[in-house]
A and B are shown apart, each in its own frame.
Chain A
């Protein structure tokens, strides 16, 4: 196959050259969305004329069948073209890559997101592992327990596995066609083969109906979604749906056959007979759907197939043929809006139902099945959903689908390797950002939960599943009380502990600053003997695992009478080798002339230290203060040993004595919020100072 041919194939499989296909795709997609939207409208509360319209639009579910016909039509097109023009069997590798690139990124993203939401929001989410596995391998359509891979969170995903099954079957039949006809190809043989294939499919479908109909145990929509899919099951099955697909394939063959230069077809085209036929078919589709609008599910069809197979299916297939040869009708259908909709139709299909669900959860709670009585309200809500779906689909197209498609598109043949590398580099940051944001959310979750728990009435706190997930945020927030905070401050003395903690940390910060800076000053600016030895000694305290020696430490504290004394906490914390080190590194950078000139003016060391060096070293002192604060604020072992009197407990110790879950959460939140606020204020300095130890 030449480069040009492949380019054409790629274009046609995009649906750009067969006129009308985009329009039909857009209409089908909108029909499905309206089907789901109209489900939310309460039928019995409407005036008759709206009821009629609603029943008509509820038949929009047949858009799914249209998708199958369209897929068969477009995907078999290159095969037919190659067959009738005497070409070779199209590259199957290319076909697989293109299909995978088209389906997988969007589907997997939607699958994972809706799976996540389903686990959170669907009560009694069953068959998790089975659904996960089959959902990932596109095999969910083979059993009723997994037909809806993510339960009702994103029901439309059921059709993806059916579609993938059809993707597999189509080239197999085509290979048979290419293999058996050999050199002597004819249109008649091909159509014969496909009609035989269609018959075989329907035969197989009949066998499935006979042998694989599920039992009647818990079968039906009243038993939830698994019961519902059990009810659907023999009628909806991957084999049966290939019949819809096959009709599209046959239509594609007819279309290619009609493309041959021929006087008759040319004349018909010129005179607009195809346009006329297209209009007539559209009218009959509308009429047909209107006519069957009130019929039961699976009626007006062959073998109880859904979506009025084969009547509607044949009409759609014929419509595609006529549109492809029409002069105007195809162009009118392919208007800008429909082309745009068709481009993002996959995104619309896989995201709109999630949006409906999230909207019914967080927006209009009544927006469930048959839930909304008020028609204008329903209209407004549907408009919101439609807009949100379009936005989601555009994002999905731009960020997820298109980048991957572009890479595989001509990637194999048309773009140079360099460009591909460039693209892969640009895609990765987006993915990484998404992944990291999710991980960050997981990391922050305990904090969010703590905040939530501190405000929740204790009874609700232990409720599983958590109230935070089962209600929209503003409803979950309604039960918030400050009871836990009141309890922790009044009954559990959290205020006293907070005061103690603040006192100890302030004392430590001030004293450490003074003591360590004096030491560092001597090490840098005063020439005295054994300077180096002192320096090494002070650094060594950084390394020693002194907290193993708590017994000796307690002896020292008690013999100095520092038990139950503020100084017992403050003084030991001032021995910070790290502080000396940090300040020394900073002092070294101060030019010695500063000290020299101050000396010339007759200032003593004490003066120079306090009036010149300390103000200069403010950033380093601030860093030390932050580090010391963190250590002292969070320290647990030493306060536990030193402070034995309940009124002297610092926050971490006081926390261990609180016996009420709500009060623990409230006190805990108080304990962590102060460092957090400080961090948000000073985080630049803090992070900059982290590297001091290594950079020097």
Chain B
């Protein structure tokens, strides 16, 4: 017994709560920078965005509170729905073209027996992905220019129609957009799939080969099922990426964005910072697009079963 009046057990208990308390405090302290930033730049963005969407703000004037008027305008705005349609069309085409191509490219890369060449090829396909989108867009603008571009020259040399207005024609500009997105995106997908392929146990193929399976059978029965998580992940991320495409379209079609390539972000940016400066409407459009895109990606995750994979 000492004279302090506390029992040892009490003291221990006290120490423990004190430590617990300190743990709590330091926990929140360590979390705080991230969450302060998050509150500032995510939560506040949400709140401000919503407030502005309920005002008829024009340019720098804050505007009056108009309730859901902006949303009503938006629902009747054909341009907005056209941009949503274009965005989803773009996403769909991107996934359809890039995923299979990336997968095939990865499988082919893996089947190359020369290690050095494989490394070089991998890097070569990856370079466009590293390239700045603005630079890529400007580059393709010059290459696809209708008068001085190299592509039209080459098509002329091949006796194909060589006066295509790639940058202004409605249907060709969408093709060009998909083409550039393919060029930029495919390398990342291939390299990603390729590094995932390395995790597949080669003895599976060995066993299948002994059983007399053909290359195609092995691809569809072994590779595809085992690659499922990677494919799902890629499908979701590239879907979000292509739904949020902005700089590529903005730079590629600089001075004449026609409605066939105007994606939803172009619409929002145009409404807010260009032309009519209809900030309120842009904010409302932003929220609608936000939920549509979020919903689609959640559906995709559910549908493709990424969550399930994580639970296991």
| A549-B283 contact, Cβ under 8 Å, with A446-B143, A466-B150, A526-B26 | yes
Q: Are B286 and A548 in contact (CB under 8 A)?
A: yes
Query: Considering residues A446, A534, A609, A630, which has the most beta carbons from chain B within 10 angstroms of its beta carbon?
Result: A446
**A602 in the interface, Cβ–Cβ < 8 Å?**
no
**A556 in the interface, Cβ–Cβ < 8 Å?**
yes
Shortest distance in angstroms between A150's beta carbon and chain B's nearest beta carbon?
Answer: 13
Known A119-B157, A515-B37; further 17 A-B contacts with Cβ < 8 A: A429-B111, A435-B108, A436-B108, A449-B150, A464-B150, A465-B153, A519-B30, A522-B26, A550-B268, A550-B282, A559-B48, A630-B130, A636-B134, A636-B250, A675-B130, A680-B123, A688-B195
Contacts of B24 in A (CB 8 A): 528-529
**B121 in the interface, Cβ–Cβ < 8 Å?**
yes
A:463-492 near B, CB below 8 Å: 464-466
Query: Considering residues B49, B183, B187, B268, which has the most beta carbons from chain A within 10 angstroms of its beta carbon?
Result: B49
Contacts of B48 in A (CB 8 A): 551-553, 555-556, 559
Q: Are B282 and A551 in contact (CB under 8 A)?
A: yes
Shortest distance in angstroms between B255's beta carbon and chain A's nearest beta carbon?
Answer: 11
Contacts of B229 in A (CB 8 A): 694
Shortest distance in angstroms between B277's beta carbon and chain A's nearest beta carbon?
Answer: 11
Residues 143-166 of B, flagged 1 when their CB comes within 8 A of A and 0 if not, give 100001010011001110000000
Residues 493-534 of A, flagged 1 when their CB comes within 8 A of B and 0 if not, give 000000000000000000000111011011100111101001
Which of these binds chain B: A225-233, A244-252, A312-320, A572-580? A572-580
Q: Are B289 and A432 in contact (CB under 8 A)?
A: no
Query: Considering residues B121, B188, B297, which has the most beta carbons from chain A within 10 angstroms of its beta carbon?
Result: B121
Q: Are A526 and B45 in contact (CB under 8 A)?
A: no
Pick the contact of B30: A537, A609, A636 (CB < 8 A). Answer: A609
Residues 62-97 of A, flagged 1 when their CB comes within 8 A of B and 0 if not, give 000000000000000000000000000000000000
Q: Are B113 and A429 in contact (CB under 8 A)?
A: yes
Query: Considering residues B31, B42, B244, which has the most beta carbons from chain A within 10 angstroms of its beta carbon?
Result: B31
Pick the contact of B158: A128, A444, A450, A671 (CB < 8 A). Answer: A128
**B3 in the interface, Cβ–Cβ < 8 Å?**
no
**B230 in the interface, Cβ–Cβ < 8 Å?**
yes
Contacts of B128 in A (CB 8 A): 443, 446-447
Q: How far is the CA of A229 from the CA of B23 in the complex (A)?
A: 91
Interface residues on chain B, size class: 35 or more
Q: How far is the CA of A429 from the CA of B111 in the complex (A)?
A: 6
Q: Are B109 and A551 in contact (CB under 8 A)?
A: no
**A396 in the interface, Cβ–Cβ < 8 Å?**
no
Contacts of B134 in A (CB 8 A): 634, 636, 652, 655-656, 668, 671
Pick the contact of A444: B113, B124, B230 (CB < 8 A). Answer: B124
Contacts of B220 in A (CB 8 A): none
Q: Are B41 and A691 in contact (CB under 8 A)?
A: no
Can you list 30 A-B contacts with CB-CB less than 8 angstroms, sorted by A residue number? A440-B120, A440-B125, A443-B124, A443-B125, A446-B139, A522-B26, A523-B31, A528-B27, A538-B35, A545-B297, A547-B246, A548-B268, A549-B46, A550-B272, A551-B49, A551-B268, A552-B286, A553-B41, A555-B52, A571-B40, A572-B41, A575-B41, A605-B30, A609-B30, A630-B130, A633-B132, A636-B246, A652-B132, A676-B127, A683-B123
| A672-B282 contact, Cβ under 8 Å, with A545-B290, A636-B246, A695-B199 | no
Q: How far is the CA of A499 from the CA of B196 in the complex (A)?
A: 37
| A526-B111 contact, Cβ under 8 Å, with A443-B127, A636-B134 | no
Q: Which residue of A lies closest to B130 (CB)?
A: A675
Residues 112-128 of B, flagged 1 when their CB comes within 8 A of A and 0 if not, give 11100100111111111
Shortest distance in angstroms between B273's beta carbon and chain A's nearest beta carbon?
Answer: 7
Contacts of A556 in B (CB 8 A): 40-41, 44-45, 48
Q: Are A549 and B287 in contact (CB under 8 A)?
A: yes
Query: Considering residues A129, A466, A574, A668, which has the most beta carbons from chain B within 10 angstroms of its beta carbon?
Result: A668
Q: Are A528 and B130 in contact (CB under 8 A)?
A: no
Q: Which residue of A lies closest to B271 (CB)?
A: A551
| A545-B150 contact, Cβ under 8 Å, with A522-B31, A528-B28 | no
Q: How far is the CA of A683 from the CA of B46 in the complex (A)?
A: 37
Pick the contact of A450: B33, B130, B139, B269 (CB < 8 A). Answer: B139
Contacts of B31 in A (CB 8 A): 518-519, 522-523, 534
Contacts of B53 in A (CB 8 A): 551
Q: Are A551 and B272 in contact (CB under 8 A)?
A: yes
Q: How far is the CA of A687 from the CA of B118 in the complex (A)?
A: 14
Contacts of B35 in A (CB 8 A): 519, 534, 537-538
Residues 440-467 of A, flagged 1 when their CB comes within 8 A of B and 0 if not, give 1101101101100100000000101110
Contacts of A545 in B (CB 8 A): 240, 243-244, 289-290, 293-294, 297
| A→B interface (CB under 8 Å) | 119, 125-129, 428-429, 432-433, 435-437, 440-441, 443-444, 446-447, 449-450, 453, 462, 464-466, 514-516, 518-519, 521-523, 526-529, 531, 534, 537-538, 541, 543-556, 559-560, 571-572, 574-575, 580, 604-606, 609, 630, 633-634, 636-637, 641, 651-652, 655-656, 661, 664, 668, 671-672, 675-676, 679-680, 683, 687-688, 690-691, 693-695
Q: How far is the CA of A680 from the CA of B290 in the complex (A)?
A: 37
Kindly list the 6 A-B residue pairs having the minimum CB-CB distance in the complex, ordered from nearest: A552-B49, A528-B27, A522-B30, A636-B247, A519-B34, A440-B124
Contacts of A574 in B (CB 8 A): 34, 37
Contacts of A668 in B (CB 8 A): 132, 134-135, 138-139
Shortest distance in angstroms between B38's beta carbon and chain A's nearest beta carbon?
Answer: 5
Q: Which residue of B lies closest to A424 (CB)?
A: B215
Shortest distance in angstroms between B131's beta carbon and chain A's nearest beta carbon?
Answer: 5
Q: How far is the CA of A127 from the CA of B33 in the complex (A)?
A: 68
**B142 in the interface, Cβ–Cβ < 8 Å?**
yes
| A548-B30 contact, Cβ under 8 Å, with A680-B123, A687-B191 | no
Q: Which residue of A lies closest to B282 (CB)?
A: A551
Q: Are A672 and B273 in contact (CB under 8 A)?
A: no
**B136 in the interface, Cβ–Cβ < 8 Å?**
yes
Pick the contact of B133: A446, A462, A634 (CB < 8 A). Answer: A634
Pick the contact of A634: B117, B132, B153 (CB < 8 A). Answer: B132
Contacts of B113 in A (CB 8 A): 429
**B279 in the interface, Cβ–Cβ < 8 Å?**
yes
B:47-78 near A, CB below 8 Å: 47-50, 52-53
Q: Which residue of B lies closest to A464 (CB)?
A: B153
Contacts of A693 in B (CB 8 A): 233
Q: Are A552 and B192 in contact (CB under 8 A)?
A: no
Q: How far is the CA of A609 from the CA of B25 in the complex (A)?
A: 15
| A443-B187 contact, Cβ under 8 Å, with A529-B24, A545-B244 | yes
**B261 in the interface, Cβ–Cβ < 8 Å?**
no
**B90 in the interface, Cβ–Cβ < 8 Å?**
no
Q: Which residue of B lies closest to A571 (CB)?
A: B37
Contacts of B109 in A (CB 8 A): 436
| A637-B247 contact, Cβ under 8 Å, with A128-B159, A429-B112 | yes
**B103 in the interface, Cβ–Cβ < 8 Å?**
no
B:255-312 near A, CB below 8 Å: 264-265, 268-269, 272-273, 279, 282-283, 285-287, 289-290, 293-294, 297
Q: Are B34 and A432 in contact (CB under 8 A)?
A: no
**B251 in the interface, Cβ–Cβ < 8 Å?**
yes
**B140 in the interface, Cβ–Cβ < 8 Å?**
yes
Q: How far is the CA of A553 from the CA of B124 in the complex (A)?
A: 37
Contacts of A515 in B (CB 8 A): 33-34, 37
Q: Which residue of B lies closest to A131 (CB)?
A: B159
Contacts of B195 in A (CB 8 A): 687-688, 690-691
Contacts of A544 in B (CB 8 A): 42, 290, 294
Contacts of A514 in B (CB 8 A): 33
Contacts of A550 in B (CB 8 A): 265, 268-269, 272, 282, 286
Shortest distance in angstroms between A303's beta carbon and chain B's nearest beta carbon?
Answer: 35
Pick the contact of B49: A466, A555, A575, A680 (CB < 8 A). Answer: A555
Shortest distance in angstroms between B220's beta carbon and chain A's nearest beta carbon?
Answer: 17
Q: Are B30 and A526 in contact (CB under 8 A)?
A: yes
| A551-B283 contact, Cβ under 8 Å, with A443-B125, A656-B134 | yes
Shortest distance in angstroms between B253's beta carbon and chain A's nearest beta carbon?
Answer: 13
